A and B are shown apart, each in its own frame.
Chain A
């Protein structure tokens, strides 16, 4: 996903000199080409995320389209108030990019696990929150957010689903990867891969499970949720993120606000805890019960 992001910003920076990339001293071996190609459009601001976000606001006030980059929780939680007051309240064009959603940096420990970011940023007005599920979605999301003229959060994942789509990407939209009448798996981020695997395993068990990538958690595709609830057997949300306030909560809000009552509703995600166990992303997904086999098990329990 990071490569797709990098490719897209390189394309955009070449045709628009107002595209400026700030990194808080992360991206070793990643941004050298961008830096040499576009002097004046790249700054390593040092290990200083609050200043990075303030700088982004100042640059954006002067017409720049600014990307702030770091990993895990650093470009979001560390400087949340700068995002809220300086970025969102001033309606600025800032795209906040975190490489390493969920357990991407699984072995690095709790500080590097981004498992509340979606919920926290989703609470901010004038904010878009996007967690792509495929490499293609990551590239499309990058372009859409930079062109959106508002503050956006792009959560890049190390895991990706190897899926293709003929559908168009739009902020606030979603991408359907599997049709299914018995239940619809709604996911956000690279855990789409596990949802697709689960769908295939469920097929063998006689359960026809659709899969939709809800890449945009805010704004969210209400019609896709309504269709999944009304025209399939129900909804299961899957996210590599804490259950409080994440995708599952957002989907539940849409259902309740619109008096939509899916016959099945289940949220799969991290159940209100911090991980003190380390391991690969796949290990931690299994450990915290959100991998493909757990999804299959939980879905089968519904039937």
Chain B
């Protein structure tokens, strides 16, 4: 049985870490991390198979954060899941730290792949899924992408390949918060009709509320033989801190002073 309370607690912890880490690290992208806290909590708290004490266990499900700028969320999820000490999180973005603002695998148990430049995660994950098919391995490969990064053509190259080769062991979750770097996705480079696009690429597409844990878990379990799975998780950028929600400002701004206090107070009372 899925313990929703535990997943909710994990998501809340990721949110608190996100605010604190981007504050002490003076770093950007808190809104992008809050957007995916529930997705990360579902993956690490319920959906994925892994052994925290054996990060390279061959039977593990693979996970790539393609929107590498939300790396602090993955670091927090990994630390909370036992891959390394939560104390290490305090070094995020500090001089000499290996916890970079964009997710890096070097020295960090549990990080499968380093990203930061957008449009890299899906092609690499597609290669991992292809390898699993060749090797007849049963594990799955998950990629968490942003909607804005679907501007990158490399994703669509990989999308063609994955469906052509029937990689039904590949699952992408798109953080559809509809905000990118400067404006909304639709003002920048329209993605709609987004579901239709992925369906036209012959993917199995599921469109859900990305903050509804039950819907997320069900979507991850909705695989169709012979088709890669695309979960479009409709989310709110900055979710959980009211003044950050749907504000593109918080793609960049580091929470400090009264804003930090207000954000933490809101999360403490959640």
Query: How long is the Cα–Cα vector from A48 to B154 in the complex, in angstroms?
Result: 8
B123 touches A59 (CB 8 A): no
A46 touches B131 (CB 8 A): no
Q: Which residues does chain B contribute within 8 Å of A62, judged by CB atoms?
A: 127-128, 131-132, 135
Query: How long is the Cα–Cα vector from A187 to B113 in the complex, in angstroms?
Result: 38
Query: How long is the Cα–Cα vector from A85 to B128 in the complex, in angstroms?
Result: 16
B158 touches A54 (CB 8 A): yes
A64 at the interface (CB under 8 A from B): yes
B-facing residues in A43-78 (Cβ within 8 Å): 43, 45-46, 48, 50-51, 53-64
Please encode chain B, from 115 to 142, with 1 for each CB lying within 8 Å of some chain A CB and 0 for all others. Answer: 1110110111111111110110000000
A89 at the interface (CB under 8 A from B): yes
Query: How long is the Cα–Cα vector from A54 to B66 in the complex, in angstroms?
Result: 12
B116 to chain A: closest residue by CB? A85
Find A55's partner among B130, B132, B153 (CB 8 Å cutoff): B130
Query: How long is the Cα–Cα vector from A63 to B130 in the complex, in angstroms?
Result: 12
Find B126's partner among A20, A55, A64, A85 (CB 8 Å cutoff): A55
A48 touches B160 (CB 8 A): yes
Q: Which residues does chain A contribute within 8 Å of B129, judged by CB atoms?
A: 58
A51 touches B158 (CB 8 A): yes
Please encode chain B, from 207 to 248, with 1 for each CB lying within 8 Å of some chain A CB and 0 for all others. Answer: 000000000000000000000000000000000000000000
A90 touches B154 (CB 8 A): no
With both chains docked as a complex, state the minimum distance between the C-beta of A83 and any C-beta of chain B, in angstroms.
11
Query: How long is the Cα–Cα vector from A85 to B123 in the complex, in angstroms?
Result: 13
Q: Which residues does chain A contribute within 8 Å of B120, judged by CB atoms?
A: 54, 81-82, 85-86
B24 at the interface (CB under 8 A from A): no
Q: Which residues does chain B contribute within 8 Å of A56, judged by CB atoms?
A: 127
A50-B130 contact in complex given A55-B123, A58-B125, A61-B113, C-beta closer than 8 Å: no
A90 touches B157 (CB 8 A): no
Q: How many residues of B contact A (CB 8 A)?
A: 29
B159 to chain A: closest residue by CB? A51
Please encode chain B, from 156 to 178, with 1 for each CB lying within 8 Å of some chain A CB and 0 for all others. Answer: 01101100010000000000000
A-facing residues in B175-215 (Cβ within 8 Å): none
Q: Which residues does chain B contribute within 8 Å of A89, judged by CB atoms?
A: 114
B105 at the interface (CB under 8 A from A): yes
With both chains docked as a complex, state the minimum distance between the C-beta of A47 and any C-beta of chain B, in angstroms.
9
Q: Which residues does chain B contribute within 8 Å of A43, judged by CB atoms?
A: 130, 165
A58 touches B161 (CB 8 A): no
Find B161's partner among A48, A85, A86 (CB 8 Å cutoff): A48
Q: Which residues does chain B contribute within 8 Å of A58, judged by CB atoms?
A: 123-131
Q: Which residues does chain B contribute within 8 Å of A82, judged by CB atoms?
A: 120, 123, 154
B153 touches A46 (CB 8 A): no
Query: How long is the Cα–Cα vector from A117 to B171 in the complex, in angstroms?
Result: 36
Query: How long is the Cα–Cα vector from A82 to B154 in the complex, in angstroms?
Result: 10
Query: How long is the Cα–Cα vector from A86 to B117 in the complex, in angstroms?
Result: 10
With both chains docked as a complex, state the minimum distance between the C-beta of A164 and any C-beta of chain B, in angstroms.
39
A55 touches B134 (CB 8 A): no
Query: How long is the Cα–Cα vector from A61 to B141 in the complex, in angstroms?
Result: 12
Q: Which residues does chain B contribute within 8 Å of A64, judged by CB atoms?
A: 131, 134
B-facing residues in A78-113 (Cβ within 8 Å): 81-82, 85-86, 89-90
A40 at the interface (CB under 8 A from B): yes
Query: How long is the Cα–Cα vector from A45 to B162 in the complex, in angstroms?
Result: 10
With both chains docked as a complex, state the minimum distance between the C-beta of B68 and any C-beta of chain A, in angstroms.
10
**30 A-B pairs whose Cβ atoms sit less than 8 Å apart in the complex:** A20-B134, A40-B134, A45-B161, A48-B157, A48-B160, A50-B119, A50-B123, A50-B154, A50-B157, A51-B157, A54-B122, A54-B124, A55-B130, A55-B161, A57-B113, A57-B124, A57-B127, A58-B123, A58-B125, A58-B127, A59-B128, A59-B130, A61-B112, A61-B127, A61-B131, A62-B131, A81-B120, A86-B113, A86-B120, A90-B105
Interface set of A (CB-CB < 8 Å, partner B): 20, 40, 43, 45-46, 48, 50-51, 53-64, 81-82, 85-86, 89-90
Interface set of B (CB-CB < 8 Å, partner A): 105, 112-117, 119-120, 122-132, 134-135, 153-154, 157-158, 160-161, 165
Chain A to chain B: the 5 pairs with minimum beta-carbon distance, closest first: A58-B127, A54-B123, A62-B131, A51-B157, A48-B157
